[in-house]
């Protein structure tokens, strides 16, 4: 028979290892008192990031052990969540992530987690920031809180450094807020493209500022600047300084980027860097064309090979809590099975993660090829899957896609991939996004989780039952059907309003979202 331990107050020992975790325990049970239970926080550097152990004996100290960065935060949350009216269950437990590299990918301008803000955008890769300066922190703090609760390790932020939302100070405040909660802020930086290290502003490490000073170092881009994704269509970027690009064959550009990376890591407590050399056009100058040997993509493997050894060496440092920084190198999209094209990358350093993006059509057509044998033939040992699926780039920004994320996580884990990255710019206020993010969080933590368990424990209770959750899923799917008639959408609205009348609280809020969305779509369908 299970035994339980009563807790009427805590005395936290070792709080200096994780002050935020200690605060969670004090908030849950209060601090001190004559019968305060000692809870000791201890660090074990041998644990993987996010790994933790919990020991609740019948008497004496409760002991929480975690890795130096996130594990104690996760352990404290798990202990609080395990409390029942009878007390804390006595016993020991341990947990660790199945996919160690779990990151959410964002652009600052279209990340909308505080839905009250004006100036929201829902698409774009080279956009101005249209919100007020304080919206940046308001949006990203909410996203950090979600990641900390759901054990998601990091957030990639493109546009982290931008004058319009506070520059260095706003970025530093966000990093410190996230680090305390066990979430890495991973700076998205463009190398020779995408604004450089300081995305937007009159700063010496902004790419446009650099190229205005040294126009002789600019890349020769094609007439069309942009790219084509089957699920989205032909995309043109507007002519602006955001799309300026530098020539990767110019040594002065490499030296400037090296100094910029040094400055970034000296200035901000980031958790790592997401490196990208640009996907909207390769330099066509004579030197680059000769080195590329006839590459015909909008990105250049040869450009990657020419810059990354120097930059990755520069970025090889310890970060928050003394643990190594986490760096991701984009290998672009729908090419994970093209081993010949990736040969130029074979000599790049092996102590960073290489991130292969896939679109939804490619995934469904090719996913059976993601095997242990194929992953073993990739040029490097640490490989991450990233997907446009579930985002605006595959016309799915607010779509219901938990099954797809679960499938990607399960197959990635079975094949020996080390992580999965998804877009997470829309708030979890939208229930379609909420359930999709929860599927990502649960299945990336445990790729062997049965779908039936996830549905029973996470989905059904949020909609009033299993049958109700299935009805919501079907109604949400109709929103993505371009052939859906006004009558069909009006019927979804009516069913959703009936559930609004029959429910309350957060369940009601989810059905109200579907009712409003269906009404809007029905109005436009005619």
The model carries a pTM of 0.96
Query: Region 354-375: what's the mean pLDDT?
Result: 97
> Which pLDDT score, from 0 to 100, does residue 327 have?
97
CA 112 to chain centre: 14
> Which pLDDT score, from 0 to 100, does residue 490 have?
97
Distance CA 305, CA 289 (A): 14
Per-residue pLDDT for 283 more than 80? Answer: yes
> Which pLDDT score, from 0 to 100, does residue 385 have?
98
> Which pLDDT score, from 0 to 100, does residue 274 have?
97
User: Which residue(s) pair with 420 in the sheet?
Assistant: 102, 385
Distance CA 430, CA 122 (A): 13
pLDDT tens for each residue of 383-427 = 999 999 999 999 999 999 999 999 999 999 999 999 999 999 999
Q: What is the separation, in whole angstroms, between the first and last Cα of the chain?
A: 62
Percent of the chain with pLDDT over 70: 95
Higher pLDDT, 224 or 304: 304
Residues 6+ apart with CB under 8 A from 512: 496, 500
> Which pLDDT score, from 0 to 100, does residue 112 have?
98
> Which pLDDT score, from 0 to 100, does residue 44 have?
98
Per-residue pLDDT for 359 more than 90? Answer: yes
Q: Could you give the C-alpha distances from 45 to 58, 59, 318, 474, 514, in angstroms and in order?
A: 27, 27, 13, 46, 46
Query: Region 90-118: what's the mean pLDDT?
Result: 97
Distance CA 22, CA 10 (A): 10
Per-residue pLDDT for 295 more than 80? Answer: no
Q: What share of the chain is helix, strand, coil (3-state, %, to 5)?
A: 45, 20, 35
> Which pLDDT score, from 0 to 100, does residue 232 have?
66
The residue whose two tokens read 């440092």 is 317
pLDDT tens for each residue of 64-96 = 999 999 999 999 999 999 999 999 999 999 999
> Which pLDDT score, from 0 to 100, does residue 301 have?
87
Sheet holding 52-56, edge to edge: 10-13, 37-43, 62-66, 52-56, 91-95
Query: Region 26-46: what's the mean pLDDT?
Result: 94
Distance CA 38, CA 10 (A): 6
Predicted confidence band at 525 (pLDDT cuts at 50, 70, 90)? very high
Query: Region 213-231: what's the mean pLDDT?
Result: 79
pLDDT tens for each residue of 308-352 = 999 999 999 999 999 999 999 999 889 999 999 888 899 999 999
The residue whose two tokens read 């099954």 is 403
């Amino acid at each position: 028979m299970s035994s339980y331990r009563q807790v009427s107050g805590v005395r936290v020992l070792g709080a200096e290892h994780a002050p935020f975790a200690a605060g969670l325990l004090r908030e849950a049970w209060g601090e001190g008192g004559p019968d305060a239970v000692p809870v000791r926080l201890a660090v074990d550097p041998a644990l993987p990031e996010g790994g933790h152990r919990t020991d609740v004996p019948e008497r004496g100290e409760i002991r929480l052990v975690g890795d130096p960065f996130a594990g104690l935060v996760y352990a404290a949350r798990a202990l609080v969540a395990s409390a029942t009216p009878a007390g804390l269950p006595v016993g020991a437990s341990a947990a660790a992530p199945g996919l160690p590299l779990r990151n959410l990918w964002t652009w600052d301008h279209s990340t909308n987690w505080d839905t009250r803000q004006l100036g929201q955008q829902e698409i774009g890769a080279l956009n101005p920031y249209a919100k007020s300066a304080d919206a940046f922190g308001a949006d990203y703090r909410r996203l950090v809180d979600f990641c900390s609760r759901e054990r998601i390790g990091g957030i990639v932020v493109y546009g982290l450094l931008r004058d319009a939302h506070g520059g260095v100070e706003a970025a530093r405040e966000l990093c410190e807020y996230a680090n305390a909660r066990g979430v890495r802020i991973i700076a998205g930086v463009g190398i020779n493209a995408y604004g450089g290290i300081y995305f937007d502003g009159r700063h010496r490490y902004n790419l446009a500022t650099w190229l205005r000073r040294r126009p002789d170092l600019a890349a020769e881009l094609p007439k069309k600047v942009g790219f084509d994704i089957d699920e989205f269509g032909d995309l043109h970027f507007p002519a602006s300084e955001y799309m300026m690009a530098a020539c990767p064959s110019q040594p002065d550009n490499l030296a400037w980027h090296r100094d910029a990376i040094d400055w970034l890591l000296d200035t901000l407590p980031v958790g790592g860097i997401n490196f990208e050399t640009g996907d909207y056009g390769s330099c066509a100058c004579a030197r680059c064309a000769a080195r590329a040997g006839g590459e015909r993509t909008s990105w250049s493997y040869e450009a990657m090979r020419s810059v990354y050894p120097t930059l990755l060496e520069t970025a090889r440092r310890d970060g928050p809590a003394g643990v190594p920084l986490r760096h991701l190198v984009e290998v672009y999209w729908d090419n994970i099975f093209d081993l010949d094209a990736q040969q130029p990358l074979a000599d790049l350093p092996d102590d960073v993660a290489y991130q292969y993006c896939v679109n939804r059509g490619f995934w469904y057509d090719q996913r059976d090829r993601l095997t242990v044998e194929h992953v073993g033939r990739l040029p490097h040992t640490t490989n991450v899957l990233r997907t446009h699926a579930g985002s605006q780039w595959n016309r799915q920004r607010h779509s219901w896609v938990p099954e797809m994320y679960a499938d990607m996580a399960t197959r990635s884990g079975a094949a020996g991939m080390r992580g999965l990255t998804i877009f997470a710019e829309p708030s979890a206020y939208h229930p379609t996004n909420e359930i999709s993010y929860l599927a990502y969080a649960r299945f990336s933590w445990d790729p062997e989780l049965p779908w039936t368990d996830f549905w029973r424990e996470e989905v059904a209770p949020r909609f009033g039952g299993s049958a109700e959750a299935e009805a919501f899923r079907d109604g949400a799917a109709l929103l993505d059907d371009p052939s859906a008639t006004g009558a069909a959408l009006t019927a979804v609205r009516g069913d959703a309003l009936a559930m609004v009348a029959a429910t309350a609280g957060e369940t009601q809020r989810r059905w109200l979202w579907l009712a409003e969305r269906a009404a809007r779509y029905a109005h436009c369908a005619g």
